[in-house]
Amino acid sequence: MPILGIMASARPVVALNIEHLTVAGGGGGAGTQAGLQRGASGGGAGGYRTSTLSLFTATNYTVTVGAGGAGGAPTVAGANGINSVFATITNIGGGGGVFNATNGVVGGSGSGGADSGGTGGAGTAGQGNAGGAGATSGGLGGSSGGGGGAGGAGSTGATTSNARPSGGSGTASSISGVSVTYAAGGAGGGFNANVAGSSGASNTGQGGGGADGNVSDPSGKSGGSGGSGIVILKYADTRTITIGAGLTGSTGAPSGGFKVTTITSGTGNVSWA
């Protein structure tokens, strides 16, 4: 009888389709060197992917939401963004920005190259694009490339005063029910200006902006931090998700036959019943 009782209460493991949007953390923009007419490059966007996975109920699946990379202090490169994970999907964090003739860093999207000949960092196939190259100013004054984005490459640096090359475009998704643009690249820093890089918005995977360079700046400026990533899961409203310890997330009211769960930080497991 006890065995029969257990069998009667057991629930079968069944397949289910989970639509996901997974975005890694954006790379931080670089800081600039004091007294140097060279902008610093923008950070690349975090890797962006969306698809539908065939998974199973009563099974744990790993979720990690990658943090954005820190912006560089003066004369410091930006940090790479952190990878985001959902089940079998791993998205690569954005490349951190660079300064002073350095090549950009590979990432989900690559960071821009620095002024005076730095090439843009490559993006990861299926996740993002390359950063723009830095201006070839020979150190006389130029801007650095913008970071790559999910929708396009970063812009190339220029020798035009105050020009800030734009980061690569992001990609819009309506998986949450509202159109939101994710994974845009960070802008490259200009010269003859004196402005710190702007930070990427939280939970967008946006790259941080590179700082401006100015020959009269006695201390240099800091780059902006990359935006953290996000994982969004859409599934049939007949299913119930369990969000494990270590994750911060919420599930909206059912709509159109689906539920949507948004996970904004942490590492842990999710499962469905």
Q: Which of 74-83, 132-141, 221-230 has the lowest mean pLDDT?
A: 132-141
For residue 136, give the amino acid letter: T
pLDDT score recorded for residue 7: 32
**Quick one: average pLDDT of 202-217?**
96
**Quick one: average pLDDT of 39-43?**
97
Domain definitions of the chain by residue range: 16-273
Tell me: pLDDT of 10 over 80.
no
Name the average pLDDT for the chain.
94
pLDDT score recorded for residue 139: 64
Contact 42, 145 (CB under 8 A): yes
pLDDT in tens, 132-160: 999 998 767 899 999 999 999 999 999 98
d(CA 90, CA 63): 10
Contact 186, 208 (CB under 8 A): yes
**Quick one: average pLDDT of 175-194?**
95
pLDDT score recorded for residue 55: 98
Phi, psi of 2 (to 5 degrees): -60, -40
Give the predicted TM-score (pTM) of the model: 0.94
Tell me: pLDDT of 210 over 80.
yes
